Amino acid sequence: MTLRLTAAASSETGSYRASNQDAAFTAGWGAAVADGVGGGPSGDLASATLVHRLVAGGLRLADRDDLIERIREANWDIGAQVRRDPALQGMATTFTGLFTTIRGSMLLAHSGDSRAYRLRHAELQRQTRDDSYVQALVDRGLLAPAAAASHPRRNIITASLGGGESDVVSVFEPDAQPGDRWMLCSDGVSDYLDDEEIGLQLLRHRSPRDAAAALVREALEAGSRDNVTAIVCDVREGEADVAESPSFWGSARERFQEDLEIGAS
């Protein structure tokens, strides 16, 4: 059985940031969100570079090794930007993406504190673990999970993609099946909406576009002080349409507007 995605996204700069450092793309074969690391230079360039290079690599993936290689090449492009301009040293991005393969499986890739959630039979389950200082405290029993969202150091991450050879990304095959609804988001959403509210919005809105827009709107109304990006993906049975052009949001839409050479691999 092959799987495809019906996906849409919404991304807003928000009232507290001068630019949108989130980047996102959606297509029938995959979707991803990248969030430029705060405190570093040109986070919008890092996230946009990663997303565009991933999309340009081809429409379908063979397996986990294929995706790892694709991410490695995209991360190399970030490093190439730094090598061309030393002022960009330190730029990096988080990354969370959901991808179909030609063998019928689904792959989930993750680095940093952007998140993936799966809604199945009205039950929401988080599918990623934050690579963050606060999550490490929770794992060690030093901080209650309920206190993590308001911890003053919650934005310190322990993994990201910045063009380095030692950068780490987790890639695994999640439990995915037709009828699932997935949500990928930057921490501008997940830091301000709890699981109950996220699940409510995913259930309330039938179309992925409406659900993504509602999540971004609710996060902004909850006082999000960050860029806010949400992707909603419905998993369907069938082949992705190779003629479909990927859609971009955030810095991925604002940068690199030239046409992409997209392989059909």
* CA-derived radius of gyration, the chain: 17
Query: How high is the pLDDT of residue 78?
Result: 95
Contact 140, 133 (CB under 8 A): no
Query: How high is the pLDDT of residue 134?
Result: 81
Query: How high is the pLDDT of residue 258?
Result: 47
pTM score of the predicted model: 0.92
Q: Percentage of residues in the chain with pLDDT exceeding 70?
A: 94
Tell me: the pLDDT tens digits for 155-200?
A: 788 889 999 999 999 999 999 999 999 999 999 999 999 999 999 9
Top pLDDT among 30 and 146 is at 30
* Residue 61 pLDDT class (50, 70, 90 cuts): confident
CA 156/CA 178 separation, integer angstroms: 35
Closest Cα to residue 169, out of 181, 155, 178, 158? Answer: 158
pLDDT of 261 above 60 = no
Tell me: the pLDDT tens digits for 208-218?
A: 999 999 999 99
Q: What average pLDDT does this structure show over 52-60?
A: 82
Q: What average pLDDT does this structure show over 70-95?
A: 94
* Residue 40 pLDDT class (50, 70, 90 cuts): low
Q: What average pLDDT does this structure show over 111-125?
A: 97
Query: How high is the pLDDT of residue 68?
Result: 95
Q: Which 3 state secondary structure label does DSSP give 80?
A: helix
Contact 161, 75 (CB under 8 A): yes
Task: List, in order, residues 6 or more apart from 152 with CB less than 8 Å away.
Answer: none
SS3 helix, strand, coil % of the chain, rounded to 5?
30, 30, 40
Query: How high is the pLDDT of residue 260?
Result: 43
Tell me: the pLDDT tens digits for 120-168?
A: 999 999 999 998 778 778 777 778 777 777 776 777 888 899 999 999 9
Q: Give residue limits of the domains in the chain.
A: 3-254
- Report the number of secondary-structure helices (H) and strands (E) in the chain: 8, 11
CA torsion angle 101 105 111 112 (round to 10): 120
What homologous superfamily does CATH list for 3-254?
Answer: PPM-type phosphatase domain (3.60.40.10)
What number of residues does the chain have? 265
Query: How high is the pLDDT of residue 160?
Result: 94
